[in-house]
């Protein structure tokens, strides 16, 4: 690789990092009523409806070394599919995660398979693929720290995140 290519890649990486940093430092106040799963009435009263509260449950958990969506998590997927069908402008990112066992490459691939499995379920329930992005964080975003079965189980998941 030539020096100019290395310099260009380093500059592009620095520019991307600066953009991410600046995006997180916005001074524009947030419109609190626009949060996913809320309505004007909920924001004004400070109370959540049952539908809004149901959207708080956004994780689908998986067995060790598996990307099969278990039947007990289908209600979570169905709730989010109904919300997306009722709100045609909503988009989600499915974030696949793993526990800390296995290589980095293996966990990234497994996390991707988990996010794709949830995406496929949403699509089967009528949500267009163009409104769903599937990504993998592998073991980089643990929900629980530690090397116990309880911690590992909390980290083997796919999170449905509204954007």
pLDDT in tens, 59-70: 999 999 999 999
Q: Give me the domain span that covers residue 118.
A: 49-162
Residue 35 inside a domain? The answer is: no
Q: Does residue 157 belong to any structural domain of this protein?
A: yes
Global model pTM greater than 0.85: no
Q: Which two tokens stand for residue 55?
A: 């959207």
Tell me whether residue 7 is in a domain. Answer: no
Q: How many domains does the chain have?
A: 1
Residue 135 lies in a domain: yes
CB 114 within 8 A of CB 96: yes
Residue 3, number of CB atoms within 10 A of its CB: 7
13 in a structural domain: no
What is the pLDDT confidence band of residue 41, given thresholds at 50, 70 and 90?
very low
CATH code at 67? 3.30.1330.60
- pLDDT reported for residue 56: 83
Q: For 94-153, how does the pLDDT look when each residue is reduced to its tens digit (9 = 90+)? A: 999 999 999 999 999 999 999 999 999 999 999 999 999 999 999 999 999 999 999 999
- Classify residue 73: in a domain, yes or no: yes
Q: Has residue 109 been placed in a domain?
A: yes
């Amino acid at each position: 690789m030539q020096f100019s290519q290395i310099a260009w890649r380093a500059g592009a990486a620095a520019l991307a990092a600066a953009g991410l940093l600046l995006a997180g430092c916005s001074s524009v106040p947030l419109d609190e009523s626009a949060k996913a799963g809320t309505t004007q009435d909920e924001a004004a009263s400070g109370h959540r409806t049952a539908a809004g509260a149901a959207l708080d449950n956004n994780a689908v958990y998986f067995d060790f070394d598996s990307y099969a969506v278990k039947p007990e998590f289908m209600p979570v997927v169905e709730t989010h599919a109904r919300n997306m069908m009722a709100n045609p402008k909503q988009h989600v990112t499915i974030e696949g995660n793993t526990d800390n066992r296995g290589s980095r490459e293996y966990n990234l691939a497994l996390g991707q398979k988990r996010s794709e499995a949830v995406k496929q379920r949403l699509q089967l329930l009528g949500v267009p693929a163009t409104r769903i992005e599937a990504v993998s964080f592998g073991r980089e975003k643990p929900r629980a720290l530690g090397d116990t079965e309880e911690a590992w189980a909390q980290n083997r998941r796919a999170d449905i995140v509204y954007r």
